[in-house]
Amino acid sequence: MTSLQIIVFIFAFAHTVFEIFMNYLNYKNLLRMKNDQPDHTKELMEEEKWKTATDYSLAKTQLSMAQEFFGLVVLTVVILYILPISFNRWSATSESGIMSSSFICVALLMLIQTSGIFFEWFSQFRIEERFGFNNSTLKLWISDKLKGSILGLIIGTLLFALLIWLYRILSNWSDYWWLVAFLVFFVLQLSLMVLWPRFILPLFNKLSPLEEGELKSKLMTLAERTGFAASTIEVIDGSKRSSHSNAYFTGFGRFRRIVLYDTLVNQMKEDEIEAVLAHEIGHYKLGHIPKRLFFSFIFGLLAFWGLDYALSQETIYSGLGLGGEYFGSLAVLLVAAVLLLPYFTYWLSPLSNFFSRKHEFEADRFAADSMGGWGALVNALTKLYQENLSHPIPHSLIVFFHYSHPPYFERIRALSNFQK
């Protein structure tokens, strides 16, 4: 193994061990509480539902630990054998054709990703099926995977090709090619936020305007009252695949759209749906979307600068087990970055999730204020936890590292303090 491969393996091993350790702590925590339900949770869930929610979390935790171990094995094989052999067999040097090298790189990444497809199948047709959430069929699941793979291959190849083309053209003119390329890709990211729900999402789900009636009238009144001018409110057929429920808004400016899962509409009362929407509007009105985009901007800028720096480091290419003819190949670096960078940025996830949880608290307060009280929002959160079998007391380390939303009782406590 080269020194770079050893460094990557150390980070990957640390990631895997830490993930399994956190899941183990959570697993023990869940087992301890399964037959000894805390008193303060009994208003949220009756004993039978509590045990079912615990079993659901236990099953997902076990699967997560198996995935982590399998992922480390796959990464080891990829670093030591697949990457060097693949690139030495199919040319992706700095002189290779742009489209051909882009296609090979994206196809290689997708093949590696496919190695974990068994876990996706097991999650959908064993765990979700066992707990009554799966509404998908094997035919639909395979169709989704094929459509997703074709779209991923096309879009990924085009994006890889665009970046390689920008590099080859701009690097002859300026050392700051990476800055121009980053700005181009950031604009593309913003464009995809608008184009995705309009052109890509309908390939998988049906979006229909919310029927005229009291619910739509209430939601539109809420939108006007809070200064959130949405072009439409749509219902997505989430029940086609799962009985889990959710709501979100997408796009920005005049392209904003409110989207409700049909499961949410069927499970909740009108004032509860109104409270959920008020929460989502809170994210917009409190500037959470621009703040997230700002962090994305900074991280993307650093990533493109890092690519430019790595292009001049021959030790990186040799460290990946590649010959000198690959020196200066952006395609090779892109594949390595997609596969390996997450093991390094993983340790920054608590920072991102800290701000995300902070934003959720703020959006909850906005919703309570907009609704003139916190009752409807509490009822909505309660139903979300009950219907989705979400365990309300995960281990604190799991929350710190992975939770983008605060646990149930933390949100209720924060709302209670706000009302006081």
Query: Could you report the per-residue pLDDT of 373-382, keeping only the tens digit for each?
Result: 889 999 999 9
Q: Is the alpha carbon torsion for 48, 50, 53, 55 positive or negative?
A: negative
Note the pLDDT of residue 324: 67
CB crowding 236-252: b at 16 or more within 10 Å, else e: bebbebbbbbebebbbe
Which carries the bigger pLDDT value, residue 211 or residue 118?
118
Note the pLDDT of residue 382: 95
Note the pLDDT of residue 94: 47
Query: Could you report the per-residue pLDDT of 218-249, keeping only the tens digit for each?
Result: 988 888 888 887 667 889 998 999 998 888 77
Note the pLDDT of residue 381: 94
* Span of 175-184, 323-332, 401-410 with lowest mean pLDDT: 323-332
Q: How far is CA 379 from CA 246, 276, 347, in A?
A: 15, 10, 35
Query: Could you report the per-residue pLDDT of 80-112, keeping only the tens digit for each?
Result: 888 777 776 665 554 567 888 889 889 989 999
Across the range 300-313, mean pLDDT stands at 91
Query: What is the rounded CA–CA span in Å between residue 318 and residue 329?
Result: 12
Query: Could you report the per-residue pLDDT of 5-28, keeping only the tens digit for each?
Result: 889 899 999 999 999 999 999 999
The pLDDT of residue 193 is above 90: no
- Retrieve residue 221's tokens: 């009144």
On whether the CB atoms of residues 131 and 391 are closer than 8 A, the answer is: no
Amino acid at 201: L
Note the pLDDT of residue 349: 93
- Retrieve residue 387's tokens: 């219907």
Across the range 195-223, mean pLDDT stands at 87
Give 328's contacts (C-beta < 8 A, 6+ positions apart). 93, 94, 311
pLDDT category at 212 given cuts 50, 70, 90 is confident
pLDDT category at 319 given cuts 50, 70, 90 is confident
